[in-house]
Amino acid sequence: MMRSLFCSLLLLVIPSLVFADPIIVAHRGMIQHAPENTMVAFRTCLQLGIGIEVDVRRSSDGHLICVHDSTVNRTSNGRGLVSALTLRQLKQLDVGSWFHPSFGDQRVPTIDEILKEAAKHRHRRVLIALDLKAADVEADCVQLAKKHGVLSRVLFIGSTITSAGVRSKLYAADAKASIATVAHNHDEFLKAVKEPRSNWVYFRYLPSADELLKVHSSGRRAFIAGKTVAGRQSKNWRLTARIEMDAVLTDFPLELAKQLRTAQSRYRAQDRAAETKGTTKMDQQFQEIAERYLDESMRHSPVGATATGDHRFDNVIDQVSEEARAAERKMINGLLKSLADITRGQLSRDNQVDFLVLQRALEKQLWQLDTLKEWQWNPLVYTRLAGGSVYNLMARDYAPVAERLKSAAERMQQLPRLYAQVRETLNPKLVPPVHAQTAAKQHRGVLSIIDNMIRPKMDEVDEALRKELTAAIEVATKAVEEHQQWIDAELLPSAAGDFRLGPRMYDQKLEHTLGTPLSRQQIRDLAERELKRVRAEMYEIARPYYAKQNPSEQLPDNPSDELQQKVIEAVLEIASTDIPASDQVVATVIESMKTTTDFVKERDLVTVPPDPLEIIEMPEFQRGVSFAYCDSPGPLEVGQKTFYAVAPLPENWTQEQATSFLREYNIRSIHNLTIHEAMPGHFLQLAHSNRHPSQLRAVLWSGTFVEGWACYTEQVMSDAGFLDGDPLMRLVMLKWYLRSIANSIMDQAIHVDGMRRADAMKLMMEDTFQEEREASAKWVRAQLTSTQLSTYFVGLHEHFSIREAAKKEWGDEFTLKRYHDAVISFGSPPPQFVRALLLGEAIE
């Protein structure tokens, strides 16, 4: 399987005559993530709106091809001069496996192929820098650029461009060609800015603001490359933006994009608003409030900021004292007061959505602080905070390892303070026993993060930092062990709270969680109707299999409940015997990822982003709630991986328990899990979501929309004939749908109606055919959480409702891909807002 490459990036819009953010140009493609000068690297850049630098040479039979060196020795499995090989010989070379075996299908691209690909991305205003490595290629390059209609986006650079003769040939080929003159120092700059046959200055040093002013005053534009900007040089990158450099060539385009994105978020948001209505003073006033929220909320939650992708506070752990809660309350009330001054109807449609998203988020945050008061009875909040404080620093390579380890050392030194505040804050008598028991298990995993993620990296840094880390680990270890003793000796014996919310609190939380007009009773009625309908469909699928095994039995169209149960269980048994080995679950998930991705692309169901995904073993401190989850990079991150985390089977399980679990997660179930968590579920949708320019909407995403999409895609894949339309796969998918239905029924039945474990287990194991291990784990999860389990079914219902409305509105122009690409293009706001934006309905 070709390894996908990158994560979320705000697509850059570069006005043609406005000197704002520099255009980003990727040196030979994304060389940190893919083999240089290959189509996969170039195509990914173009999809993300990043420019490309392309090395131009000529084969022995006259074709223009892309290879950097004069020989093929370094970047292929062949040897020899590029100029001595024919195109056919070059095309036989493997130019990807040297980077990674998964790129073994990559071949030497022609300039014609590259420019043809660039022409497909006309909506991306990217720069194509052709680095002329060979002589006498000027006219052919110009003609190919004109052939594909991209001449206006091509800039001619390279070592040969220093020749006045080369510049003259380019100019003669077409006077509209963008031609650079190289300047290695100020003296060369003075000549370049007067060169009659060029309209760009190609800086190989960091120029001054005065020099850039002279470039622009002469009607030229400025391009920079070389050692001052090629690496992760944030200071120099900031300077290029400040002096209004037009384009920057770098080895780290995603990191540069992140820096520019943070600095220019206000302008992008205003541009987005202008597309729909035109920026107004009210829009600008709202954007200032939104930016204030993003800044202040990150300051109040440094660990959350790290997870989100804001790394200003990576060396700080949250304060959880009463003073901190008072400060948070003051922040929320101040922002709500500012929002009250906004006339929502005067905002652009996008900002109307963001206004409501922010307003409701603040109201929810205040309700959690003053009404739900989870801070005083849920120890899991703090277990995840302690574990996440280190894990989020080390899980992704967003910065050099030394920088991240330095932050980790400082955070580990703060763990004693955090734990002291936690012990002061938690009221053991209010803590439900199940929460205390789960916290006791999870908290032990904090030390495993240090052992598995910090210690192995210590040899990569200097001695001073190693000493700092050693001291910090000693402090952290002692703090974790002392807190574990407190949990075991004081919290567990004293925990006496009720995990059930009760009807008033549950209904309030349900409204905050779902963001939908559906009431608790409406959800219950809809779920119970669907439970009957889906079981009837499962019976129809199972009937032929059962009849083949039991030819003498009568199988009526309207069976009794007992017969329906027996037939469905018998045929699910067939599927449940196809299980992975207990030590091959992760390997099976990896293979499933390939299968699902290939099918989505083959059926062209939705655009597949080129973002990176890694399947990992779930960290210990996050186990005990679910078997798998999708951990996407924070919405403010650029170029980081998504983790599809899978929990290993607990070592203390009996063989009977392990078998029960594997029967639930049989091969077909693992396919359905992968569809939900990754392709085309969470991974794909969140990758699209993070491309939306609203940072506010990215941070305050709707669980109903996100979980609903993942459940919706399970049915989309089945309807499209996944696994060649295998009826057993359809049956397993419907079993998963029953799980979502049961989740929504059980969620409210437990917290409002007092449902007991025996009744919950019957609903799961009999009515919805779940195995004992899955049902037992879900019972624990339902106690630990509330209302979240309803997001799956409600979100799925909302997604199908939006699709039906779009089909009616679009008529013959409706296609699944058009619909899917559109519906996930708005970020992840509540479904009702997506519907309004998609169909032009009122935003309420």
Query: DSSP per residue over 760-786, as a string?
Result: HHHIIIIIS---HHHHHHHHHHHHH-S
- What is d(CA 780, CA 777) in angstroms, rounded to the nearest whole number? 5
On the 0-12 / 13-18 / 19+ scale of CB atoms within 10 A, 602 is: exposed
Structure tokens at 90: 């070059």
The count of C-alpha atoms lying within 13 angstroms of the C-alpha of 317, restricted to the half-sphere facing its C-beta, is 28
Give me the helix-helix angle, 503-514 and 703-719, nearest 10°.
70
Q: Dihedral through CA 425, CA 429, CA 433, CA 435, nearest 10?
A: -20
Query: DSSP per residue over 4-54, as a string?
Result: P-----PPP---TT---SPEEEETTTTTTTS-TT-HHHHHHHHHHT-EEEE
The SS3 call for residue 228 is coil
Exposure b/e, 84-116, CB count within 10 A at least 16 = b: ebebebbbebbbbebbeeebeebbbbbbeebbe
Query: Taking a C-beta distance cutoff of 8 angstroms, is the pair 516, 831 a contact?
Result: yes
Strands 64-65 and 128-132: unpaired
Phi first, then psi: give them for residue 131, nearest 5 degrees: -95, 105
Q: Shortest CA distance to 512 belongs to which of 500, 501, 526, 527?
A: 501
Tally the residues of the chain.
844
Structure tokens at 668: 């077909």
Beta strand spans in 427-510 (E)? none
The SS3 call for residue 608 is coil
Cβ neighbour number for residue 230 with a 10 Å cutoff: 16
- CA distances (Å), origin 375, targets 98, 300, 417, 555, 679: 52, 15, 16, 55, 35
Query: Taking a C-beta distance cutoff of 8 angstroms, is the pair 422, 446 a contact?
Result: no
Long-range (24+ apart) CB contacts under 8 A made by 586-590 are 586/615, 586/617, 586/646, 586/648, 588/667, 588/670, 589/615, 589/628, 589/644, 589/646, 589/670, 589/673, 589/674, 590/615
Query: Which residue carries 């520019």 as its tokens?
Result: 260
Query: Taking a C-beta distance cutoff of 8 angstroms, is the pair 797, 583 a contact?
Result: no
Structure tokens at 186: 């100020």
- What is d(CA 140, CA 731) in angstroms, rounded to the nearest whole number? 58
Backbone angle region of 469, left / alpha / beta, with phi > 0 → left and psi within -120 to 50 → alpha: alpha
Q: Shortest CA distance to 607 belongs to which of 534, 516, 691, 677?
A: 691
Q: Shortest CA distance to 69 belongs to which of 26, 28, 100, 104?
A: 28
Structure tokens at 632: 């996407």
- What is d(CA 76, CA 92) in angstroms, rounded to the nearest whole number? 10
For residue 543, give the amino acid letter. Answer: R
Which residues are part of the catalytic machinery?
27, 68
How far is C-alpha 513 from the chain's CA centre? 21
User: What's 218's DSSP letter?
Assistant: T
The enclosing H or E element of 65 equals strand 64-65
The SS3 call for residue 200 is strand
Query: Taking a C-beta distance cutoff of 8 angstroms, is the pair 326, 474 a contact?
Result: no
State the maximum Cα–Cα separation within the chain, in Å, rounded to a whole number. Answer: 97
